[in-house]
A and B are shown apart, each in its own frame.
Chain A
Amino acid sequence: MAITFAIGVSPEEARREKALVLEPELREYFRRVSIQKGIPLPNLTNLDPYADTRFEGGRLSLLEREVDDLLSILEGLYGKEALPPLLEPPEVIGLETEPEGKPCSRDGALQFLLALRELSDEARRGGWPLLAIGD
């Protein structure tokens, strides 16, 4: 159920070197934050995990705005010492396919969003679609 973000016209031709994986635990965390803060992030949190979504033009702009919104929310939240458990990111993600998972925590959540912002910038500059590839 992980979703891979990559630049390309089709999943088979997506650029492998800059692919970014949104693990289900992190997606669930972003969804929790969006509900708690009352900010809808449909392009980021309601992606179909079993299908592909294509971001280009206006849709890419919407995704970028959502990523920026979420980044500013999280940076504000992480400035505080203690957070309610619901707003804390998972310590480990990727447990669906990796036996030990991968470390995440606050740094991992921010790094993912920054990398996604960079990837969408690159797609926009190159005139390529950004794909969210499901399973």
Chain B
Amino acid sequence: MNQAFLRSIQFLSSLPWKGLLLALLFLFPALALFGEDFSQVESLPPASSLLDSIPGPAPSVPSGPAAQEMKNVRTPPTKTKETAADAALKKRARRAADRYVLSNKTLYQHILPRHGSDATVPGKSRFVKGFDVSDGIDYTLKSPDARIRENTDGRRGYIFEVTYRTRIGTSPEKKPLRTLRVVIDEGGRVVTAFPVK
């Protein structure tokens, strides 16, 4: 089919300017019908991309119980392509997290005095009463769903974050917080942990 189409194009193009008009007349519908295959032969962009630019009918907005049901369904997060550098970073971070150490000093003299539910340090987010911080750190560092990135401003180490379904802390303005951020150094020592948005 495609070959016949190509031959007809060649024939039309050999004609004088009338042929050009004919070619234009047939070219556009043909592109729409066989565009994908044609573009593979001729290395042209697929005709479907041309069709995409044509505005279609407005999507209908469902209403009633079905619409409510649609709102409750959470769409899975779109996966972005992970670069080799990202993968290597995560591997290093996971290796450090596998042998993490949470010292009593870090927990009782750093994290809890400033982020514990009874903490008095001004301007800091606080864990809610009853939230087990060391369990939360363990969960975050071992969770396959944790978001991992390098520590900021060239500081060595990694930042792990896990978002909980329920509130784990409150902001300085008393707003609920559901994400636990854990910072570890390159050796896996926990530097700090605190609730964020």
Which residues of chain A have a CB within 8 Å of any CB of chain B? 1-2, 4, 6, 11-12, 14-16, 19-21, 46, 48-50, 95-99, 133-135
Give Cα A50–Cα B191 distance, bound, in whole angstroms.
7
Given known contacts A19-B122, A50-B183, A98-B197, what 14 new A-B pairs fall within 8 Å (CB)? A4-B123, A6-B122, A6-B123, A11-B113, A12-B121, A14-B121, A20-B123, A48-B155, A50-B192, A96-B197, A97-B172, A97-B196, A135-B115, A135-B194
Q: Are B155 and A96 in contact (CB under 8 A)?
A: no
Give Cα A98–Cα B196 distance, bound, in whole angstroms.
8
Give Cα A20–Cα B173 distance, bound, in whole angstroms.
14
Give Cα A20–Cα B124 distance, bound, in whole angstroms.
11
Q: Does B140 make an interface contact (CB < 8 A)? A: no
Q: Does B120 make an interface contact (CB < 8 A)? A: yes
Q: Determine which residue in B115, B123, B183 has the highest number of CB atoms from chain A within 10 A of its CB, and name it.
A: B123
Q: Are B191 and A11 in contact (CB under 8 A)?
A: no
Q: Which 8 A-B pairs have the closest CB atoms?
A: A19-B122, A4-B123, A97-B171, A21-B123, A16-B122, A50-B192, A11-B121, A135-B194
Closest A residue to B183 using CB positions? A50
**Across-interface contacts of B153 in A (CB, < 8 A):** 46
**Across-interface contacts of B125 in A (CB, < 8 A):** 97
Q: Does B79 make an interface contact (CB < 8 A)? A: no
Can you give 29 A-B contacts (C-beta < 8 A)? A2-B124, A4-B122, A4-B124, A6-B122, A6-B123, A11-B113, A11-B121, A12-B113, A12-B120, A14-B122, A15-B122, A16-B120, A16-B122, A19-B122, A21-B123, A46-B153, A48-B155, A49-B152, A50-B183, A50-B191, A50-B192, A95-B197, A97-B175, A97-B195, A97-B196, A98-B171, A98-B172, A98-B173, A99-B197
Give Cα A115–Cα B137 distance, bound, in whole angstroms.
36
**Interface residue tally on B, bucketed by range:** 20 to 34
Give Cα A49–Cα B194 distance, bound, in whole angstroms.
12
Q: Are A97 and B121 in contact (CB under 8 A)?
A: no
Within B174-197, which residues are at the interface with A (CB < 8 Å)? 175, 177, 183, 191-192, 194-197
Interface string of B87-122 (1 = CB under 8 A from A): 000000000000000000000000001110000111
Q: Are A97 and B177 in contact (CB under 8 A)?
A: yes
Q: Are A99 and B175 in contact (CB under 8 A)?
A: yes
**Across-interface contacts of A1 in B (CB, < 8 A):** 152
**Across-interface contacts of A99 in B (CB, < 8 A):** 175, 197
Give Cα A15–Cα B120 distance, bound, in whole angstroms.
10
Closest A residue to B154 using CB positions? A46
A17–chain B nearest beta-carbon distance, Å: 8
**Across-interface contacts of A95 in B (CB, < 8 A):** 197
A7–chain B nearest beta-carbon distance, Å: 11
Q: Are B123 and A2 in contact (CB under 8 A)?
A: yes
Give Cα A15–Cα B196 distance, bound, in whole angstroms.
23
Q: Are A135 and B124 in contact (CB under 8 A)?
A: yes
Give Cα A14–Cα B114 distance, bound, in whole angstroms.
11
Q: Are A21 and B172 in contact (CB under 8 A)?
A: yes
Within B126-180, which residues are at the interface with A (CB < 8 Å)? 152-153, 155, 171-173, 175, 177
